[in-house]
Structure 1
């Protein structure tokens, strides 16, 4: 039951973060080229995600160690989504607009598990010592 609650909160936080970073992107578009606007909003999205997931989803204290590791999740997610998109579009002939949605549905559980592992790793190690 605890994992189900965390998964639901994780998805809700992800939606909030996606909309927030999209609006930040739109705001930066008034002042910056789109690549710069995207890069800044994506970086801010990672930071927002770390704080929201740590405090609201997994209820963990913030730490520099997990904060530094957290962006690795997005590297993995980006690579896996890119690979899946390629397979879906070029090999399975799924339309590009639908392929990304399928990819996100597939990668979200992995992103959840990686986020949980990184954010809670300090706590888990402390619990193992006890």
Structure 2
């Protein structure tokens, strides 16, 4: 009998983590210069918005290996609203309540938001099959027999 851990898509979790790292570097590369010009929360918001589109395409193609659609693109910000809310709460808590440095705090807040963001993004970008069995997932390549064609 297989337990609940067997249902966890570990390959997707690993790819999601890689994409999260790339997205975090992209965000941080935007945040640091803006942090010199703007208050930390405004710089955070601008950096977050700038990295949104890249995150959509990386997660669509690489993490979940599915086709991007306009519907997913329009729904994807909902995943980021969740991510933004969790990260924002973490950022304010870390900086204002716990006194953490505002340069490092966004990285810690991003780590804290990772599990919630994975669950929400998977639901949006890889929805369950429809009752008619149709899906927008790419078709698997045909199985290869050991014989030449």
State the distance in 2 between where 1:26 and 1:106 align.
Answer: 20
Aligned to 2:82: 76
State the distance in 2 between where 1:87 and 1:8 align.
Answer: 28
Say how many residue pairs are matched: 119
State the distance in 2 between where 1:74 and 1:101 align.
Answer: 16
Aligned to 2:126: 120
State the distance in 1 between where 2:27 and 2:52 align.
Answer: 9
Structure 1 length-normalised TM: 0.70
- Structure 1 residue 21 displacement after superposition: 4.0
> Deviation string for 1:41-73 (max 9, x for gaps)?
533411100100010010011110010011122
- 1:96 corresponds to 2:136: no
Pick from 128, 132, 136 the counterpart of residue 129 of structure 1: 132
State the distance in 1 between where 2:50 and 2:111 align.
Answer: 23
Distance 1:44 1:64, change over 3 A: same
Aligned to 2:11: 5
Task: Show structure 2 runs of 5+ residues with no match.
Answer: 1-5, 134-149
Distance 1:16 1:110, change over 3 A: same
- 1:66 corresponds to 2:81: no
Task: Show structure 1 runs of 5+ residues with no match.
Answer: none
- 1:49 corresponds to 2:55: yes
Tell me, yes or no, if the aligned pair for 2:75 and 2:124 is still in contact at 8 Å.
Answer: yes
Pick from 15, 20, 37 the counterpart of residue 26 of structure 2: 20
Larger % of helix: which?
A: 1
Structure 2 length-normalised TM: 0.62
